[in-house]
Structure 1
Amino acid sequence: MSTNDTSNMVNYSVAYSAKFAILIAFAIPSIMVSIFIFAYFGWNRNTPIKDHNYSILVLLVVNFVQVTTDLPMPMDFYRLGGIVQPATSAYCTWWIWYEFSLNVINGFLMEWISIERHLLIFHSGFLRNLGAKKRRLLRIVPLVLCMIWPPVYYCI
């Protein structure tokens, strides 16, 4: 092994260690704050969750799932110095599908929340003129589509 190869390995090792440290430094507070928010709504049953906040709550749940189930996989990769465990084709394929699905779900949910906020602020009269059933469908159907479409798309 030449000197260049050794220095490259050391550089990768330092980079992996730094990435691992950064991820763990942000993952722990993220999990703690999410649990605090869930506990708040669980203990305070009198706190109403308004219809226009359901989409934000769904985004919070998806982000919590991503931080607790998806983020440990790259963290383990960085902790092991760039080695995937278990190093099987099935695991790598599943990991890619899972990560892409969660990332796209997060993106779609943020897009829908932006559109929903726009409708609530600039077109509130339009929403008031809709019946309660249509308003509920306008809030629930896009959330369900945002949650179902990406995993199905990446399966195909």
Structure 2
Amino acid sequence: MPISNISSSNIIKFVYDDGIAIPYIVRFWIFLISNILSLICCLFVLYQFLFDSNLRRGLHNHVIIVVLFMCLIMELTTIPWKMYLYLYGVAWIQTPTFCMIWKFLDSTLYTTTAKLVGWASVERHILIFHDQWVSTKKKQFFIHYLPLIFIVLYGIVVYGTITPMNGCNRSFYYFITFWGYSSWVYNSLAFGLYEFMTGAILCSILIGFGSIFLVLRVILRKRHLQQQIQWRKHRKMILQLLSVSSLFFVLYLPPVMLAVAHKVGVPSYVGAQYNTYASLFSYYIAFLFPFTCLSTIPELGTRIKNIFRCRWRQQMRSVAPQK
């Protein structure tokens, strides 16, 4: 990935080849269309989850709501900033502070989203097979709410501490993504291994085995527990998890598996081109997540018709002649 240096007086411009054959302008339009559609869907789904009391009170929906808010933040901040870079070839704001804010948001939102989905894969087992663990408000706080709070705060604290650590006065190149910046902490072998194990590996195991084992567990125990478990209610929980997990199976797990292969001896050039494109299309986790949640909303068609019906009535009232 060569960088050619073009200098004129005190201005340094970098023409950067990131190894992706898709031109910047094409990426801009792909991201623009995807972001608009995803943003509309995200707002609609959040509205349904927050203003429908039945959906809002469902414990299994809380982690989904938090992830939707994270997708919303990405679609209003880091993704438009990346689109600006694609369109103009330079950062929107060319300051180290803006660079670190972008890097902090990108790292925090991406890793926290994966951890939350991993936790959701575990929590579904609790809600379906061990609902007595969350039978009281005190139990709900420790088993349900506290893990959510911890996962979110963990990402904020860790990356809020690491990101500002710019060792050796590293230069910022405002013509490439993240300006070639990374905290000096990432150079630490110990932290890199810790981050890889607790982030990529642990999340992949929880998402992969958690969702698959849940389906197998349900199939094996359905006959024995049919009288004790409300299967119609919990079937929605399972389908919701599977729809979300399928997104991570496609966009999250393959790069992690390739990284594991590299660490156990596979040459780094194997899959290098795939990793380059996977990094670009990892944003589609945020783009597609609202749509995976949309399919799990009960009576979706009726809800959409009601929205259009209310809108139509408002328009009719506005054009009605005044008496």
59, 69, 73: which one aligns with 2:67 = 59
Cα shift at 1:100: 0.7
Greater length-normalized contact order (CA 8 Å, ≥ 6 residues apart):
1
2:114 aligned with 1:107, yes or no?
yes
Which residue is equivalent to 1:79? 87
State TM-score, norm by structure 2: 0.40
Deviates more, 1:91-100 or 1:43-52: 43-52
Q: In 2, Cα distance between the equivalents of 1:102 and 1:71?
A: 12
- Identity over aligned pairs, percent: 25
Out of 127, 145, 156, which is 1:140 matched to? Answer: 145
Aligned to 2:132: 128
Is residue 2:101 matched to residue 1:94?
Answer: yes
Query: Retained in 1: the 8 A contact 2:116–2:148?
Result: yes
Q: Which amino acid aligns with 1:56?
A: I
Change (3 A) 1:91 1:102: same
Which residue number in structure 2 is paired with residue 4 of structure 1? Answer: none
Provide the rounded CA distance (Å) in 2 between the counterparts of 1:45 and 1:115.
Answer: 24
- State the distance in 1 between where 2:56 and 2:81 align: 36
Given the superposition, is the C-alpha separation of residues 12 and 107 from structure 1 closer, same or farther in structure 2, using an over 3 Å criterion?
closer
Consecutive unaligned residues of structure 1, counting only runs of 5 or more, are 1-7
CA-CA distance at 1:135 after TM superposition: 3.0
Which structure has greater helix proportion? Answer: 1
Cα distance 1:44–1:51, how it changes in 2: closer, same or farther (>3 A)?
Answer: closer
Q: Distance in 2 between matches of 1:29 and 1:150?
A: 27
User: Which protein shows a greater Rg?
Assistant: 2
**Pair 140,93 (structure 1): closer, same or farther in 2 beyond 3 Å:** same
Superposition CA RMSD, Å: 2.6
Distance 1:137 1:77, change over 3 A: same
The structure-2 alpha-carbon separation of the partners of 1:23 and 1:141, relative to structure 1 and needing over 3 Å to count, comes to: same
Please give the alpha-carbon distance, in whole angstroms, between the structure 2 residues aligned to 1:151 and 1:99.
11
Query: Are 2:25 and 2:86, in contact at CA under 8 Å, matched by a contact in 1?
Result: yes
The CA distance in 1 between the partners of 2:133 and 2:126, in whole Å, is 13
Q: Is 1:19 the counterpart of 2:31 in the alignment?
A: no
Question: How far apart in 2 are the matches of 1:26 and 1:141?
Answer: 33
Letter in 2 for 1:101: T
